[in-house]
Every structure is written in structure tokens, then in C-alpha cells.
Structure 1
Amino acid sequence: MLSLTPYENPMYFGMLAVAFIPIVVGILWGKRFRWYELLVSIGFILLSFGGPKWEQGVALVGFLIFEVILVSLYNVYRKKKNDTWVFVIAVLLAISPLVVVKLTPLMSGTPSIIGFLGISYLTFKAVQTVMEIRDGVLKDYNPWFFLQFMAFFPSISSGPIDRYRRFRKDYESVPDREKYLNMLEKALHYVFLGFVYKFMLAYLFGTILLPKVQHLAVQSTGLSWGLVGVMYVYSFYLFFDFAGYSLFAVATSYFMGIETPMNFNQPFKSKNIKEFWNRWHMTLSFWFRDYVYMRLVFFFMKHKIFKNPKTTANITYVLNMLLMGFWHGEKWYYIVYGLIHGVALVINDWWLNLKKKNPDRFPHNKFTEYLAIFITFNFVCFTFLVFSGFLDTLWFH
């Protein structure tokens, strides 16, 4: 069976174009051919997880069945009771496959057999659904629709991470012709921009330039221009590669009449680190904000763990970003990356509060704005150098 990684092969885009013709025509005439959309989704999932990747396909099916049963059982329970311990068990069970996948290489040195491309993002969608059921904001949970939400193929492998209620609102309605034509225009723009990002700029920085500057860095000792080159080249490669992929996923969703949220919003223009996380990998950042940071803050305040609200916020910043670091992997550089950003968010809040209390001491003009962007950009690039793992290769191998 043919197997193609999503958005990596011209053939994949050609097959998408052909498959989408009935969907586009139907929506333009005010109809959704839901069974056809389902068949297209199944077809592209098989295309992504079939053939040589059949083991990942089996793991994906098993994971989806497990999560649908788990969330459905919790929904039935939540209608009658709301014990915290049951909620905690449901969340732990929801993330248990991901924990196994992340820890297996550390324990045994080999990848887990239940791992597949996209397990992290599907786990986030399952956990957020459990939490929204617990909060009582999701009252119309439907197991069949939850499965469709989880297995929405444009974003199944690497996001963006959508929300159940937002997705359902789009899926159960048909955009009027004017709105859909505007969505198609945006989709085509995102496709072409994605090609520039992923197949031209990411190729330039990742395939052509990165090996060269890495070689220069290895030839030198300590801090060198080669290492500085790795820092900037890798940062641009990481952005253009992931942003290009995200543009493809959003564009594909738009063709299907689903306004999947954007993942990037010119992050290198950020004036501080908090603004950066409001622009970089936004659906992941907002997920950690809503389902980790805010809930930890609420828990600490409710149980009066810390007397000072600022202390609560600062410690939660660090814990939240550390968890994000661990999510990327168990390597030291992922954990240090998360720790650095957690501490940076603490310092950022302190600095913004200081400026707010003493506005006359800190001038605000175009120069200071550009200076803030320059500092933030270089700080982010340095943390991406840590995140890349190149320092581990350079120093310890």
C-alpha cells in the first residue's frame, strides 16, 4: 500500500486537490456531503498510516478507540457525579499512552510499539475534552462526533490543536457562499505561502545552510561564528518548516469549510517573551495556558499553597514551561529549554510591572520597541539553539 507523509510530497497535494472537488462544489451550493468527507478522511489517514507504517496505523486505531471509550464513560459519570478523584483518574488514563510512548525509549532504548505520528496532539484534544466535560461547559458531547473531531485528518499529525466546541460549530454549519469563497481565497494563499516557507525557505536554512554552519561550529572550540550561525539558521529553519506545515493544515481545513485556528502570527516581531508565546505555536501555547497554567494557579490559590499571588503565578510559569519541555522529550536540552522560558516569563512580568509602576523612568518610543524586538528575537534564537540538541552533540559527543 502507498504511504505518504502529510504535506511532504507533491503527489499528496495532487490527491488532495482531486478529493476536494466534490467537497468544494457541495459547500458552494450550501451542502455538506458528510459521508464523502468521512471517506476522504479515512482515505488520507490510511495514506498516512498505511503501507510500511501499518504498525502506526494499528496504534492510532487502538488509541482512538481507547480515548473514545474513556471520554464517553467519563461523560456518563459526570452527568451523575463530580468527584475530583474520578476526574484525576480520567485525565491520567487519557495521557497514559503518551507517557508510555515518551518514557519507553528512556527505559528500553527502543521506540514504543504504541507510538504514532501525532499522538501528542490527539492526547491534548482528549484531555481538554475531559476537562471541559468536568467544568460543565461541554454539555452536548457525542462519542461519534468526538471520534471525528479526534481523527480530523488535516491536523491529525502535528496540529494545530482545535477545541471540541469550536470545531463542532464549524462542522455542523455550512458557510454561506460569500464566506466560503473568502475561505477558499485564504486557503490558496496559505498553500502558496506554505510552499514558500516549507519547500523553499526551510530547505534553504535546514538542508543547505545548517550543515555548513554546523561543520564550522564543530571545527571550532567554544563560542564561534559557526555556533552563532547554527543558532540563527536553526531558528529560521524551525520556524519556516513548522509554520509551513501549519499553513498547509489550516488551508486543507478551510477547503473543508472548517476554520482551524492559526498556529503562528509573526512571532519574531514579539516585543517580549510573553508576546512571543502568544504568537508562536499558538494552539499549543494556549492549550498549556488554559489546561495547565490556569488550573495550577486555581489549585494553588484554592489550597493556599503560596501566600503571595505573584509567587503563585511565578512558580506556575516555571512548572508550566518545564512540563512543556518534558513533553518535547526527556533529553536535558528540552528540559533546560522549558526552564529558561519559565524563568524568562517570571522576569518578563517583573519588568512589565516595574515599567507600569514607574512610567516616567522608562521611555517608550520606536527605538525602544525595536530594541525590545531585537532582544526578544536573540533570546528566542539562543533558546532554540539549546532546544536543537546541537550543544549536546558539540560538547558531549
Structure 2
Amino acid sequence: MNFNFINMQPYSNPQYFIYLLLALVPIIVGLYYGKRLKTYEAIFSLLFLFLIFDGDHWQEGVNLILYLVYEFIITFAYLRYRTKKGSPNKSWIFNLAVILAILPLTAVKILIQMPKGTVPFVVGFLGISYITFKNVQVIMETRDGVIKEIDPGTYARFLLFFPTISSGPIDRYRRFKQDFDKAPSREQYLDDLQMAVRYLFQGFLYKFILGWFFGTYLLPKISIAGLATGNAVGGLKLSWWVVAYMYVYTMYLFFDFAGYSLFAVAISYFMGIHTPMNFNKPFISKNIKDFWNRWHMTLSFWFRDYIYMRFTFFAMKKKLIKNRIRLSQVSYLLLFLIMGFWHGLTWYYIVYGLYHATAIIINDYWLRFKRKHKDKIPSNRFTQWFAIFLTFQVVCLGMLIFSGYLSQLWFGWK
């Protein structure tokens, strides 16, 4: 079977959805009658995964298979150690399991920065980050005793869940298993279908109309104008086109990624799986912390739960930093530095991480000051709208840094 006449990368074009929705029909009919066709779901997912890694991407498919074998060995070896009677809960074994689980992703992030032609083989595969996040989450919750057993078949479906494999949203194993182990009632599934259709059409509006308008139509024109005009300040070309680029890029990034996420959630709902939402009106955030509770939520919550909180508890237990305010600040710096490095080993991603860590630290200072002087600081509709406006400016400036456009404007930073 050769579908190379269209792009079979997930949610890449409207024609792709024709094949996807046709393949979903047996799953939809089965769930409507209260039956989950697990065998067909597995075949369906494997078929579309095969089409992703068909043709020129076959080496990525091989990498995915090898990666899964590697991660299964680590996860189930650690599960056996934790559930074996009388086995001590040694932290170094847990740390080793986490490091080994993250090692392939770390290697990929480093290798893809090598000069072109240096690495004689294809590294990584589509979705390696999000599968790694799922796997690390399971290891950590196994250590906590929250997960006491893992069904290999369910776990494989969880890691390879087709609608979310490439770019999330990031689900949690226990939540996924709860949905996967049973079929919803007819009333529940009719609600799921209603939400799936709504999210599907909203995704089309976001990605193929608004995302196209901001990203394909406007952004290239503004980018060229910004590079061609402006006054050099410290080697950086500055003009109003840069400001326009900042806002347009922010809109493009949101509508493109939010549209993709809506597609993933919609297809999940068609399959009776309640994959969590990734965005919740992020541009009405009243401060930068509120923004991160609304933007790319499954990633934000993953970093919060498995990096920020765990480092904070570890530092408190070891009494590394006694002052709780300083500890939270160090935790924020660590959190956003890791997030920056995860996006890529490029200067503007690192600066982006430091920028948001600094913004949250300043925001915390302001919130503490506001609580201390709440009788003197006005709180009304104007101040609330001003907070939203100011937060939006902070977010857009961060997106400008993230875009890498400044590296094109700044001579010498290519």
C-alpha cells in the first residue's frame, strides 16, 4: 500500500482526514454499541504509524522499534525491582532508571546539532520526546507506588497511541488505562462524538485557516520586510516590522499548535479516549504563571510535576536551600532551563527558558508585594484588563526570542 501521493504525516492536510475518518468508522460503530474493538484499534494504529514512517522515513521507524524495546526493558526491569518482596527502595536504582530512559532523547538532541553529514545515520524519530515523557512518568509513578502493575499491551498502546504520538498532548498512564479498559456508555459516547466533531472543525479553523493566514501568508512577508529595513543598534536591525513579526509569529504558533492539539483530542474522543486538552484561552492570562497553566498544559504540568516539584522536595529534604523563596526561584530556573534545552541546543531556546524563569520570579515578587499591600493596590476591571494586556506583551516578547528571528537580525548570530 503506497499513500505517497499525499503527505501522511499526522494532520498535515485536509485530504489526510478522509483516510483517517474512514478508518475510524468500525471503532465508532463498535463504541456506539458498547464494544471496544481492541484488536482493530491496534491494527488501525499500526497502519497509520507505518504510513508515517513509510518511504524515506523508514529508518525512523526502525529507530522507534529499537527505542521501544529499550524502554520496555528499563521500565519492566524497574517495575520488577519495585514490586519484588523485600527489595529496598534504593534511590540510585531509580535515578539510574530515569537517566537511562532519558538517555536516547538526550543523545538525539545532541546529535541533531552536529554539522550536516557528520552523523552517518538517521537519529531519532517523530514523537521521541513525547514517548520519553510518558515513559519517565510511568517510572516515577512506579517508584512512588502509585503504579503497581503494568499491562504490556496497554502500555504499548499508551506509548504508541496514534492520535498523540508526534506532538502530544501528553496523557498519563493511569488515566489512559481507565478509558482503554472499558467502553463508554452510549450516552457518554454520543457526548464524546459531539465534542470530537466540535474539536475537529475548530482544529480546521485554527490550523488550516488562521494558522495558514498568519504563518504562510503574513509571516514571510513581514520577515522579509524586517530583514530589509530598520536601523542597526548594536548589530541588531530594529524596526516596526520586528514588532509586527513578534505578534504575527505568536498568533501563528498558537493557531498552528492549538489546531494540531485539537485534532489529536478530536480523534482520541472518536476512539473513546479522553486525551486532555492542551490549551485553555492562554491570551486571557492575568500573569505569566497563569499563562503556563493555560499554554501547552500537558507539557507544562508534566514539567511541573516531574521536575519542579520533585527537585523542590529533594532540595527541601536534603536542606540544600533553606529559604523557601530562594528554593522556588532556583527550581524555576532549573525547570525553564531544562525546557529551553529540550527545545534545542540553540542560544535563543536557552535565553527563552531564562526569560520565562525570570518573568515568573518577578511575578512572584509582585504577588507577594500585592498581598502585603492589598489595601493600597487597587483591584478593578481596569487593573484586570491591564494585567492581561501586560502579560500578553511579555508572552509575545518571549515568542519573538523563541522564534530565532532575532538571530537573523543580529549580524553574526546565524
Q: TM-score range by the shorter chain?
A: over 0.9
Residue matched to 1:240: 255
Structure 2 distance, partners of 1:310, 1:66, is 40
Q: Which amino acid aligns with 1:159?
A: G
Structure 2 distance, partners of 1:200, 1:292, is 36
Contact 2:11 2:17 in 1 (8 A): yes
Correspondence list, 1:339-378, <5 A: 339-378=354-393
Deviation at 1:223, TM superposition (A): 2.3
Residue matched to 1:49: 53
Structure 2 distance, partners of 1:183, 1:365, is 39
Residue matched to 2:102: 95
Residue matched to 1:76: 80
Is residue 2:223 matched to residue 1:214?
yes
Structure 2 distance, partners of 1:73, 1:64, is 14
Structure 2 distance, partners of 1:105, 1:260, is 30
Q: Which amino acid aligns with 2:324?
A: P
Structure 1 distance, partners of 2:184, 2:123, is 38
Secondary structure in 2 matching 1:359: coil
Correspondence list, 1:214-363, <5 A: 214-219=223-228, 220-221=230-231, 222-363=237-378
Q: Which amino acid aligns with 1:240?
A: F
Contact 2:32 2:186 in 1 (8 A): yes
Contact 1:90 1:130 in 2 (8 A): yes
Deviation at 1:350, TM superposition (A): 1.3
Contact 1:215 1:226 in 2 (8 A): no
Structure 2 distance, partners of 1:320, 1:205, is 30
Deviation at 1:114, TM superposition (A): 3.0
Deviation at 1:394, TM superposition (A): 1.3
Q: Which amino acid aligns with 1:92?
A: I
Correspondence list, 1:22-41, <5 A: 22-41=26-45
Is residue 2:12 matched to residue 1:11?
no
Structure 1 distance, partners of 2:9, 2:112, is 23
Deviation at 1:224, TM superposition (A): 0.9
TM-score (norm 2): 0.94
Residue matched to 2:195: 186
Structure 1 distance, partners of 2:248, 2:402, is 13
Correspondence list, 1:114-153, <5 A: 114-153=123-162
Unmatched tracts of structure 2, length 5 or more: 232-236
- More helix per residue: 1 or 2? 1
Deviation at 1:124, TM superposition (A): 0.3
Contact 2:284 2:388 in 1 (8 A): yes
Contact 1:231 1:382 in 2 (8 A): yes
Unmatched tracts of structure 1, length 5 or more: none
TM-score (norm 1): 0.98
Structure 2 distance, partners of 1:357, 1:43, is 59
Structure 1 distance, partners of 2:205, 2:387, is 28
Structure 2 distance, partners of 1:143, 1:178, is 30
Q: After alignment, is 222-231 or 271-280 more displaced?
A: 222-231
Contact 1:334 1:387 in 2 (8 A): yes
The Cα offsets for residues 128-175 of structure 1, whole Å up to 9 and x where unpaired, read as: 000000110011212222111100000000000000000000101211
Contact 1:97 1:114 in 2 (8 A): no
Contact 1:197 1:244 in 2 (8 A): yes
Contact 1:355 1:362 in 2 (8 A): yes
Q: Which amino acid aligns with 1:307?
A: K
Contact 1:326 1:335 in 2 (8 A): yes
Structure 2 distance, partners of 1:218, 1:150, is 43
Q: Which amino acid aligns with 2:164?
A: S
Deviation at 1:10, TM superposition (A): 2.5
Q: Which amino acid aligns with 1:301?
A: M
The Cα offsets for residues 339-387 of structure 1, whole Å up to 9 and x where unpaired, read as: 0101111111111111112111211111001100000001100010000
Contact 1:68 1:146 in 2 (8 A): no
Secondary structure in 2 matching 1:106: coil
The Cα offsets for residues 306-346 of structure 1, whole Å up to 9 and x where unpaired, read as: 12011111110111011000000000000000001011111
Contact 2:112 2:123 in 1 (8 A): no
Deviation at 1:107, TM superposition (A): 4.0
The Cα offsets for residues 54-78 of structure 1, whole Å up to 9 and x where unpaired, read as: 1111111111111112101110011
Deviation at 1:108, TM superposition (A): 4.6
Q: Which amino acid aligns with 2:323?
A: N
Structure 2 distance, partners of 1:339, 1:109, is 28
Secondary structure in 1 matching 2:12: coil
Structure 2 distance, partners of 1:95, 1:38, is 26
Structure 2 distance, partners of 1:39, 1:105, is 32
